[in-house]
Chain A
Amino acid sequence: MSQAEKSQAEKSQAERALSSDPRGSRNPLWTLGLLRSEITTLLRRHRTYALLGVLAAVPVLIGIAVRIETGGGGSGGAGGPDGGAGPAFLAQVTNNGVFLVFAALAATLPVFLPMAVGVVAGDAIAGEASSGTLRYLLVAPAGRTRLLLVKYASVLAFCLIATLVVAASALAVGALLFPVGEVTTISGTRIGIGEGLVRAGLTALVVAVSLTGFAALGLFVSTLTGSGIGAMAATVGLLITVQILDSIPQLSGVHPYLFAHYWMSFADVLREPVHWDDLVKNFQLQGLYVAVFGSAAWARFTAKDVTA
Chain B
Amino acid sequence: MTDTAAESEAGDAVAEDAREGHAAVTGAGSGNPAPVPATGAPVIRTRGLTKRYRGGQLAVDGLDLTVAAGSVFGFLGPNGSGKTTTIRMLMGLIDPTSGTAEVLGRPMPAAARTVLPEVGALIEGPALYGFLNGRDNLLRYDRADPTADPRTRRARVDEALARVGLAAASAKKAKAYSLGMKQRLGLAAALLRPRRLLVLDEPTNGLDPQGMREIRSLVRELAAEGTTVFLSSHLLDEIEQVCTHAAVMARGRLIVQGPVADLAASARGRLAVTTPDPGDAARILKEHGLTGLSADGDRLTADAPPAAVDLADLNAALVGGGVRVRFFGVERGSLEDAFVALTGEGFDVAG
Stretch at the interface among B13-21, B162-170, B299-307, B319-327: B162-170
Q: Is the CB of A18 within 8 A of B152?
A: yes
Q: Is B189 an interface residue (CB 8 A)?
A: yes
What residues on B are CB-neighbors of A45 within 8 Å?
A: 131
Q: Report the minimum CB–CB distance from B126 to chain A (whole Å).
A: 8
What residues on A are CB-neighbors of B131 within 8 Å?
A: 44-46
Q: Is the CB of A132 within 8 A of B125?
A: yes
Q: Which residue of B lies closest to A11 (CB)?
A: B159
Stretch at the interface among A56-64, A71-79, A136-144, A184-192: A136-144
For the complex, give the distance between the alpha carbons of A303 and B95 in Å. 8
Q: Is A7 an interface residue (CB 8 A)?
A: yes
Q: Is the CB of B93 within 8 A of A132?
A: no
What residues on A are CB-neighbors of B140 within 8 Å?
A: 37, 41
Q: Is the CB of B113 within 8 A of A10?
A: no
Give the contact-size bracket for chain A.
35 or more
Q: Which residue of A lies closest to B147 (CB)?
A: A26
Q: Which residue of B lies closest to A36 (CB)?
A: B143
Q: Is B139 an interface residue (CB 8 A)?
A: yes
Q: Is the CB of A133 within 8 A of B128?
A: yes
Q: Is A27 an interface residue (CB 8 A)?
A: yes
Q: Is B194 an interface residue (CB 8 A)?
A: yes
Q: Is A24 an interface residue (CB 8 A)?
A: yes
* Interfacial residues of chain A within 1-58, with CB under 8 A of chain B in the complex: 1-3, 6-7, 10-11, 13-15, 17-19, 21, 23-27, 30-31, 33-34, 36-37, 41, 44-46
What residues on A are CB-neighbors of B92 within 8 Å?
A: 138-139, 141
For the complex, give the distance between the alpha carbons of A147 and B117 in Å. 16
Q: Which residue of B lies closest to A132 (CB)?
A: B127
Q: Is the CB of A10 within 8 A of B155?
A: yes
* Interfacial residues of chain A within 95-142, with CB under 8 A of chain B in the complex: 131-133, 135-142
If the complex has contacts A132-B124, A305-B93, are A37 and B162 also in contact, measured as CB distance less than 8 A?
no
Q: Is the CB of A27 within 8 A of B146?
A: yes
Q: Is A146 an interface residue (CB 8 A)?
A: yes
Q: How many residues of B contact A (CB 8 A)?
A: 52
Q: With contacts defined as CB atoms under 8 Å apart, how many contacts are there between chain A and chain B in the complex? A: 133
Q: Is the CB of B165 within 8 A of A1?
A: yes
For the complex, give the distance between the alpha carbons of A129 and B233 in Å. 24
If the complex has contacts A46-B131, A140-B116, are A306 and B159 also in contact, measured as CB distance less than 8 A?
no
| Among A1, A17, A33, A305, contact of B143 (Cβ-Cβ < 8 Å) | A33
Scoring A3, A10, A19 by chain B CB atoms within 10 A of each residue's CB, the highest score goes to: A10
* Interfacial residues of chain B within 96-148, with CB under 8 A of chain A in the complex: 112-114, 116-117, 119, 121, 123-125, 127-132, 139-147
For the complex, give the distance between the alpha carbons of A30 and B150 in Å. 11
What residues on B are CB-neighbors of A143 within 8 Å?
A: 112-113, 146
Q: Is the CB of B144 within 8 A of A307?
A: no
Q: Is the CB of B155 within 8 A of A13?
A: yes
Q: Is the CB of B93 within 8 A of A137?
A: no
Q: Using a CB–CB distance below 8 Å, which chain B residues touch chain A?
A: 1, 88, 91-95, 112-114, 116-117, 119, 121, 123-125, 127-132, 139-147, 149-152, 155-156, 158-159, 162-165, 167, 186, 189, 193-194, 214, 217-218
Q: Can you list 28 residue pairs at the A/B interface with Cβ under 8 Å?
A: A1-B214, A3-B162, A10-B158, A11-B159, A17-B151, A24-B147, A30-B146, A33-B143, A34-B144, A34-B146, A37-B143, A41-B132, A41-B140, A44-B132, A135-B93, A135-B127, A136-B123, A139-B119, A139-B121, A140-B144, A141-B116, A141-B144, A141-B145, A142-B144, A143-B112, A305-B94, A306-B88, A307-B88
CB-CB nearest 4 A-B residue pairs: A132-B127, A140-B144, A141-B116, A305-B94
